[in-house]
Amino acid sequence: MPAVEARGWGWRHAGRQAWAIRGLDLCIEEGERVLLLGASGAGKSTLLLALAGLLDPSGGGESEGELLVRGADPTIARDETAIVFQDPETQLVAARAGDDVAFGLENRCVPTERIWPRVHAALAAVAFPYPADRRTEALSGGEKQRLAIAGAIALEPRLLLLDEPTANLDDEGARQVTAVLRTVAAESVRTLIFVEHHVEAALSLVDRVVVIGAGAGVIADGPPARVFATDGALLAALSVWVPGLAPHRPPARAREVREEVIALGRDLAYRYPGSDAWALDGADLDVAGGEAVALTGPNGSGKSTLALLIAGLLRPMRGTARLGEDDAWRLPARRLVTRVGTVFQDPEHQFVTGRLDDELAVGPRRAGRTPSDARRIAMDLLERLHLAHLAAANPFTLSGGEQRRLSVATALATSPALLVLDEPTFGQDRRTYAELVDLLGAHRDAGGSLVFATHDADLVASLADRALALRGGRAA
């Protein structure tokens, strides 16, 4: 019996005119290891959600054709399936790491005496760096993603679905997770389907590549070497990441660099509630006008915390964070929105409306722009980032890559002097990656400042004037 069968299958999200995916004909045999590729918005995440039995037409969505997991409706086969979402925040449910991994086992009625050995084995498999009683609220984004993977592995599913499992991990963490997946893939009883933009790293794990297009079904299918040799040029033209092609670099432009300090941090320290360890402990950062500074370092090193402190969204427990002459955390929202634009690691944490065009108008309206000006700004950014066709869509129904572009657009919408971004290129295809890099480069070259936390070495090489490496909450 095939692990997955699709016959003319399609899905349209509630309130959408366009289908997220349509005309899909696909058969995946038990034990196959499949890399699912496609441009941003092609329906990759939608397909994984459907296979996990998490799409329900009663919520307003529309389905056509047939989709089966081991011969049954995916909602019936849930006990044999596990999924790791793009955003780990959406699947962490417990206050402590070990309890979170145990949660799924408890819900599947695994005998009590077998639960905790499987919890500890799963945490070790993903090289989780803390004891099982570590509070989940104190974890970095990458650490949360590692924990989410542990929760899926602990279930020992027959069908394991992963949506960009290494996207928020540092290089060492990505290598460790890849090694875990290699072990999982070696077990023939387990079928593996995952989405990953780091194609080169993924190739050692798979025996098959399937490329899908928005509303176009399967574009290419076969062994990796054959697919990229035969269809590589076509896939690159469709914005799919292809091994061996270098990422986009922004064009060289004249730059405006000012000596004035836009943002300043001195001896910054912060500890999250419930944690006995400092997330940041004594970091310094100066950012000049027109300067781009990359924050680098392993997961849990304090990059995101430093970014939030500089952006005025956390109050330092020690030290000083200033925007110009003002304490960043003291600025009221109406003034802060005109001084700094922030992109969170989790884009869903910054969406406040039910439509994309409304979302992009919030910042300009808050900054005092007229409704017509705010709408003009919103539509221009939607066009630039290839989201105009989704202007009326709910931000929470977008793919991870689309949500990331929207979050960057909201930061740009008020034309602030400083942009603070956390993993700004996450989940992008070749075309949208290039658009983001060009937009950020243009902001920098026009005299705007950038501070961005990232594991993307190509982005650092493309945009950063210098990098501040962190480790253990301090400058490395």
User: Predicted confidence band at 29 (pLDDT cuts at 50, 70, 90)?
Assistant: very high
Pairwise CA distance, residues 301 & 200, whole Å: 26
Neighbours of 8 (CB within 10 A): 13
Secondary structure class of 375 (helix, strand, coil): helix
pLDDT of residue 257: 67
Tell me: pLDDT of 198 over 80.
Answer: no
Is the separation of the CB atoms in 206 and 183 below 8 Å? no
Residue recorded with tokens 């501040």: 468
Tell me: pLDDT of 175 over 80.
Answer: no
Is the separation of the CB atoms in 50 and 13 below 8 Å? no
The fold for domain 4-237 equals Rossmann fold (3.40.50)
Secondary structure class of 427 (helix, strand, coil): coil
Tell me: pLDDT of 187 over 80.
Answer: no
pTM attached to this predicted model: 0.80
Counting residues of the chain whose pLDDT is more than 70, the rounded percentage is 98
Tell me: pLDDT of 411 over 70.
Answer: yes
Tell me: pLDDT of 294 over 80.
Answer: yes
Query: DSSP character for 109?
Result: T
Between 136 and 300, the more confident residue is 136
User: Predicted confidence band at 252 (pLDDT cuts at 50, 70, 90)?
Assistant: confident
All structural domains of the chain with their residue ranges: 4-237, 261-475
3-state percent helix, strand, coil for the chain, nearest multiple of 5 = 40, 25, 40
User: Predicted confidence band at 221 (pLDDT cuts at 50, 70, 90)?
Assistant: very high
Residue recorded with tokens 């459907």: 50
Between 449 and 273, the more confident residue is 449
Cα angle for residues 445, 358, 164 (degrees, 5° grid): 65
pLDDT of residue 131: 92
Pairwise CA distance, residues 160 & 193, whole Å: 6
Pairwise CA distance, residues 35 & 193, whole Å: 6
Tell me: pLDDT of 355 over 70.
Answer: yes
For the CA atoms of 287, 144, 407, 52, what is the dihedral angle to 10 degrees?
A: 160
For the ranges 110-114, 253-257, 315-319, the lowest mean pLDDT is seen at 253-257
Domains 4-237 and 261-475 are alike in CATH topology: yes
For the CA atoms of 77, 82, 85, 90, what is the dihedral angle to 10 degrees?
A: 90
pLDDT of residue 344: 87
DSSP 411-448: HHTT--SEEEEESTTTT--HHHHHHHHHHHHHHHHTT-
| 175: nearest Cα among 185, 183, 166 | 166
Secondary structure class of 404 (helix, strand, coil): helix
Where are the alpha helices (H) located in 131-260, listed in sequence order? 141-154, 171-185, 199-202, 224-237
β-strands 326-327, 474-475: how paired?
unpaired
Architecture label for domain 261-475: 3-Layer(aba) Sandwich (3.40)
User: Predicted confidence band at 254 (pLDDT cuts at 50, 70, 90)?
Assistant: low
Is the separation of the CB atoms in 308 and 338 below 8 Å? no
DSSP 441-461: HHHHHTT-EEEEE-S-HHHHH
Pairwise CA distance, residues 96 & 138, whole Å: 10
Q: What are the residues facing 422 on neighbouring strands?
A: 453
Where are the alpha helices (H) located in 293-399, listed in sequence order? 303-310, 333-339, 356-366, 371-384
| 418: nearest Cα among 268, 283, 263, 286 | 263
| 163: nearest Cα among 88, 89, 241 | 88
Backbone angles phi, psi at 122, to 5 degrees: -70, -40
Residue 241 tokens, joined: 């990441």
pLDDT of residue 170: 75
Tell me what the mean pLDDT of segment 350-366 comes to. 89
285 Cβ contact partners less than 8 Å away, ≥ 6 residues apart: 263, 264, 265, 268, 293, 306, 310, 451, 468
Tell me what the mean pLDDT of segment 384-388 comes to. 84
Rounded (10°) angle between helices 141-154 and 112-125: 130
Pairwise CA distance, residues 71 & 93, whole Å: 31
Secondary structure class of 63 (helix, strand, coil): strand
